[in-house]
Chains A and B, each alone.
Chain A
Amino acid sequence: MLGLTITQWLFGILSFLAIMFALMVVFTRNPVNSVLYLVLTFFCIAGHYILLNAQFLAVVHIVVYAGAIMVLFLFIIMLMNLNPDAEPRKHIVTRIIAGVIGGVLLFVMVGALKGAEQLQIVQGGPSQIGLVKNLGKVLFSEFLFPFEIASILLLAALVGAIMIGKRDTNTNDKDIINQ
């Protein structure tokens, strides 16, 4: 079959699906469908992680992104009850300009990265760094301080999200009285 190995077939199929689903995220009008396509894109990227022998990151990616972040997005969208027919659209000129800028950016990136080294990625063989055991050793020795800082960042984000999302009781009471 064209002289391609299974890995290369999988890479091609996963890349094609990831790009197609990513395009659908941008071009679908209904936000709920957009979220679901983004989940599919994340599954394709998790497949790429498995191909790169990064099993731990693949699992964390699915758990964190598809499991937590996307559910948060869906929850917010359902909370807002957005009507796909009333979906605001940018002016056609703005959208064309966005497409042209994207095309030029792709052209520049491809041109700049064309001369990247043609090394072969070692797969399946000696690369064992993506396994939980090896990654955990690095994470808890070399990167222990950033790990703790990340926990503080998450705590701060948690408190901040609650403070921002909390209903302002004073103004709210006044609104109710005015109504």
Chain B
Amino acid sequence: MLNGIPINYYIMLSAVLFIIGAVGVMARRNAIIVFMCIELMLNAVNLLLVAFSTLHNDASGQVFVFFIMAVAAAEVAVGLAILAMVYRNFKSIDIDLLSRLKN
């Protein structure tokens, strides 16, 4: 019989991962790294959904994680296409330079 792990530990782990991602979004200027930090935040939420899904023995949470993965894949495809276009036009992906969107 395996000893379980309190749900609090999963909540704390997810919170820490989410905040690392949030700090990365705020502190970095490279747009690709900002994207990766957003992925990190999505994964923190996914982990918590799976933990609660297992806790309540309900499959809905895991199906939600499945959909979140599909949406994340779509988001990354479109986002990276936009970044590639921006890099072609501006020769830079520094978000501080791109904050005005026009010229």
Contacts and interface: CB of A to CB of B under 8 A. Distances in A.
Contact of A164 (B9, B11, B32, B78): B78
Given A120-B4, A135-B63, A19 B17 contact: yes
Interface in A68-123: 68-69, 72-73, 76-77, 79-80, 82, 87-90, 94-95, 97-99, 101-102, 105-106, 109-110, 113-114, 116-123
A95 B27 contact: yes
A107 B8 CA distance: 15
A35 B36 contact: yes
Given A18-B13, A129-B57, A139-B63, A45 B43 contact: yes
Q: How large is the interface on A (under 10, 10 to 19, 20 to 34, 35 or more residues)?
A: 35 or more
Interface in B39-87: 39-40, 43, 46-47, 50-51, 53-55, 57-60, 62-63, 65-67, 69-78, 80-85, 87
B84 to A, nearest CB: 6
Contacts, number: 246
B32 to A, nearest CB: 6
Contact of A64 (B51, B57, B73, B82): B73
B3 A7 contact: yes
Contacts of A95: 27
16 contacts: A19-B13, A45-B43, A45-B47, A56-B62, A57-B50, A61-B69, A88-B29, A99-B23, A101-B22, A102-B20, A102-B23, A109-B18, A109-B19, A113-B8, A161-B77, A162-B81
Interface of A: 5-8, 11, 15, 18-19, 22-23, 25-26, 31, 34-35, 38, 41-42, 45, 48-49, 51-54, 56-57, 60-61, 64-65, 68-69, 72-73, 76-77, 79-80, 82, 87-90, 94-95, 97-99, 101-102, 105-106, 109-110, 113-114, 116-127, 129-130, 134-135, 138-139, 142-143, 146-147, 150, 153-154, 156-158, 160-162, 164-165, 167
Interface of B: 1-13, 15-24, 26-30, 32-33, 35-37, 39-40, 43, 46-47, 50-51, 53-55, 57-60, 62-63, 65-67, 69-78, 80-85, 87-88, 93-94, 96-97
